[in-house]
Chain A
Amino acid sequence: VRTMLIADDEPGIRTLVRMTLESDAYEILEADDGEAALAIARMRHPDLILLDVSMPKRNGFEVCRAIKADPRTSDIAVVMLTARAQQADREQGAEAGVDDYFTKPFSPVALMQLVEGIYSKQRSA
């Protein structure tokens, strides 16, 4: 069973992601702010984190940097899932060490393909 964390302060988005990816193959964890996301990442060490940028307490980029800086969590794949679609935001994401950048609105089918692609990569690695 693969573990995945969705961190977003919008409950509707968490519901959408859960509904998109929920199956016997995945366990889906939820966090509604940056600190919660970081705490869960350290405690549960998910295989993948879907991170919103605009979150209370710590924003997505800060959370990503913290995860990538910590050797215990640096192997976790981080995908930004954000409404911030500008080039400057993407550059900031790249600096923070994100593995992929996914903008809202998104297609659930495309999200599923992305997630499966990441898992297969991790499997082969």
Chain B
Amino acid sequence: MRQVALALAVMLLASVPASADERFAVIISGVSGSEKFAESQKTWSDALQLTLRTRLGFSADRITTLAEGAATNATRENVARTLTALKQRLAADDLLLIVLIGHGTSDGTTSKFNLVGPDMDTKEWKQALDGMPGRLVFVNTTSSSFQFVPALSGRNRVVIAATDSAAQRYATVFPQFFIEALDQSAQADADKNGRLSVWEAFTYASQAVKAAFEQKGTLVTERSIIDDNGDGVGREATAAAGADGVLAKTTFLDPEPATTAANAAIAGLEKQRVGIEAEIEQLKDRKGQMPAGQYEEEFERLAIELARISAKIRAAK
């Protein structure tokens, strides 16, 4: 029965052509090992599915879930079939979000994600994802996940791991907060532009994990990292600005908002708004190289200008 269900799911994935800018998700909840973990994995997996559909507007037929004991079990064969089918379906400007929930192991040189039956190591994941069209956001929320970053890093890819060293091999809480970030997108939307970027979800989850350990008063046993420039070197959310982050900050998990340029007057104001926002970003970049007073004066002038134009846009809509 399960094989029939998977075959139907794969046929569906392969047969319906995707149009541009579509968003797909694969949730893989691996072997749990105990009732306690089975319960938390199911809770997270169900919550993620619901959030993707209801909060982020993913179509139900573009979300594939492989889970221990589910109609489509989380086995390596099913992972391979699902990814192969998606390679046929995705277009170059589509987005694929893959989230791994469960347990991982590492021998120091390679990591595995624990599936039902034989596991898949980082090399096998790399092979399975090679040739996947579109932008890939790969989130391994498990213990010992850090080696997925160098293994899967590449052009047009954002790779996130819940841990950053072999020593971080304990059950993680990162999935709870990553899903919370997607669900509470208004709070996670740090720049308040009304959209949730992968960077914002990652930053929210990283900070929430840190706060959770601080509240418990225990040593932090997981530090999440991200790589999006293809160099295979991950960075933490709180690290000084570095090479990573550019792609993740411009990769959004929610749908593209409808264009508002139908009205010429609004379009003109929108153009001004974008220009001022760019000026603000340039000014912020120069902050350390100019006197504080001069920066504050210039920033306030631009902020007031931006606020006035934004108010006009909101009033005109």
Q: Does A pair with B?
A: no
